[in-house]
Amino acid sequence: MKIAFIGLGNMGGGMAANLVKAGHDVRAFDLSEAALAAAKEAGCETFDTAREACASAEAVVTMLPNGQIVKQVYWDDVIGHAPEGAVMLDCSTIDVETAREVIEVTEAHNYDMVDAPVSGGIAAANAGTLTFMVGGSEKAFKRAEPILAAMGKAVIHAGDAGNGQAAKICNNMLLAIQMIGTAEAFAMAEKLGLDAQTFYDISSVSSGQCWSMTSYCPVPGVGPESPADRDYAPGFAAALMVKDLRLAIEAAEKAGAKTEMGSHAKAIYEAFADEHGGLDFSGIIRTL
């Protein structure tokens, strides 16, 4: 397929490269010259504007920083510039209301569209092992699924428009809570005289086991390789975790959901990111 890919940052660059590897004709655009150069090196055709990238595209994939930019790109550069009938896939992490608004407007212009935020971080984006949480109609999902499958290991239909974003922010709120708890447990174990590896060996096969421990351990040299072994180079930056937690708590307030642990995790990560926003979110253990 001819696929326009708009947004070639830490995540988008690897995703676009994997579409090329899958045999697609990728038409790439980003504001960064360095990102465009890397995309060209990976086999993408690069363009000076998003509109040019969308011309003649059968599908458009966007990976952008926030909802305001997503709306601007779709309003100004995608709708009416991509051929009628193309399928749109927004893989950005944005608020649920904006995701639903963009899909509603886009579909009114005779496109199919899904919101498809990702889980997995930079390494998974490069390796093509992301998880996609997808919101949209059954028709739009079926059209988007093979494109997403070229970039990930799991593509899950979460329901109607916006439900992909809902799944993402709920998942990442849970992840933040788990990581803080995991870090606290390791710090406490050390203060009680329990070796970190020994605690890992016990808890990883006991009821305290969780992904933050066994797949992404915040302690260097314990468990599989993780950002902790690279001095907390992300990975998934603390500043991005703050963004997702703010989206989660905003959505919870609008929905009337009670999220005491989520709100506390947000406050903890906001304080951490004020000074260490570029570190991986597992670096929260340094505060303990």
Q: Which one of 168, 243, 254, 266 is the catalytic residue?
A: 168
Which residues lie closer than 8 Å to 158 by C-beta, 6 or more apart? 133, 134, 135, 164, 166, 167
Q: How far is CA 238 from the centre of its chain?
A: 13
Which pair of tokens denotes residue 279? 């570190």
Per the annotation, the verdict on 168 as an active-site residue is yes
175-205: burial string, b at 16+ Cβ within 10 Å, e else? bbbbbbbbbebbbebeeeeeebeebbeebee
What residues act catalytically? 168
